[in-house]
Amino acid sequence: MARLVLKFGGTSVADLDRIRNVARHVKREVDAGHDVAVVVSAMAGKTNELVAWCREASPLHDAREYDAVVASGEQVTAGLLAITLQNMGVNARSWLGWQIPLKTDGSHGAARIAEIDGSEIVRRFGEGQVAVVAGFQGIAPDNRISTLGRGGSDTSAVALAAALKADRCDIYTDVDGVYTTDPRIEPKARRMARISFEEMLEMASLGAKVLQVRSVELAMVHKVRTFVRSSFTDPDAPGMGDFDNPPGTLICDEEDIVEQEVVTGIAYARDEAQISLRRVSDRPGVAAAIFGPLAEAGVNVDMIVQNVSESGAYTDMTFTVPAGDLAKAKDVLDKAKAEMQYEVLQSESGLTKVSVIGVGMRSHTGVAATAFKALADRGINIRAITTSEIKISILIDGDYTELAVRTLHAVYGLDKA
């Protein structure tokens, strides 16, 4: 039999009825003879409530006490699920991050995992015990509770799967897999049976909300086969207990995918903002002078385009930032204008980044040209372009988001089975 880590997000454990449903999923795997560890998030909305309480108590609160407060949501869920499983006759015990221990660095509120000792959980597998682990949390070098940042339960689950040498990490969520694009925009979007780690990482970082980016990075580094599936499907429905081919999407090595599509999916990210610096002095170090202060201010710069004038004396620099960081970015640039040596700053919000993703792009030509022509035929203007080996990202006006997604989804044949 296999060793599994099952992760359930906030919507899956939102109330006691849903926790009972989760317990049925867990019991199904236990009854099949598998060793099972479960990682749970806080109930839906609970973390937001706890964060709001911290801010109301003090806008400038201590990060260590913040972690002590917000980590309590997962503690409640873990205890309730363990009680529910025990009531069903399953030998289960809850674990907090410090009890494993899951050790992190000292960056309270956004800690990174340093080490996990899963030996005691493995020993208890031999006794038939299920470990119900509170996600999102660990213990810092100062022996205080630490948290991994929003979405950290996905990261906890993948890291625990790696430490336990699990055969698979199943991420149960409110969708039944990874789709070729957002089904809310394109009803013809298809659920993929398999997707490579690299493709999933690009999709997660470029707007797909199915998995947290750090969890995909960890899965890729440690080669943790990760399965995305729905917790809202009846646990006893046909195929749910099929270990080799359950309903959902497997995220795995590229070599495990027999027939690779040229383009796998279309992702998008709304609320992008564009900043243009006009007549920047074209000299060595100018890029560092611009982007260094932005990085220090915590502004994430994405697409960058530079145009050189005919004389070579000046350049125009255009780049994108999240719309929420636009005001901060403009303030940084205004204060450092003399050092950056630009004449005019222009900005615009309400833009969208649409991305075409697929490992098959490495060995096929004309993928970008197909996208550009399809958008041009629809009258969609392209503001900026960035590329990598397996993705093309295109910046467009936000009003054309749905049209662009549907157009690209169709032109690469993703709407066909």
| Binding annotation | 7-10, 47, 74, 173-174, 179, 184, 209-210
Residues forming the annotated binding site for ATP?
7-10, 173-174, 179, 184, 209-210
Taking alpha carbons only, the member of 360, 367, 364 closest to residue 385 is 367
Name residues whose C-beta falls within 8 Å of residue 84's C-beta, 6 or more positions apart in sequence: 16, 19, 20, 23
Q: Which SS3 state, helix, strand or coil, does residue 302 take?
A: coil
Q: Which two tokens stand for residue 238?
A: 């046909």
- Paired with 133 in beta bridges are 39, 95
Residue written as token pair 């800690």: 111
- What is the rounded distance in angstroms from the CA atom of residue 141 to the CA atom of residue 405? 46
- What is the rounded distance in angstroms from the CA atom of residue 14 to the CA atom of residue 231? 12
Cβ atoms within 10 A of the Cβ of 194, count? 19
Q: At what angle do helices 367-377 and 401-411 cross, to 10 degrees?
A: 130
End-to-end CA distance of the chain: 33
- What is the rounded distance in angstroms from the CA atom of residue 132 to the CA atom of residue 147? 17
Residues forming the annotated binding site for substrate?
47, 74
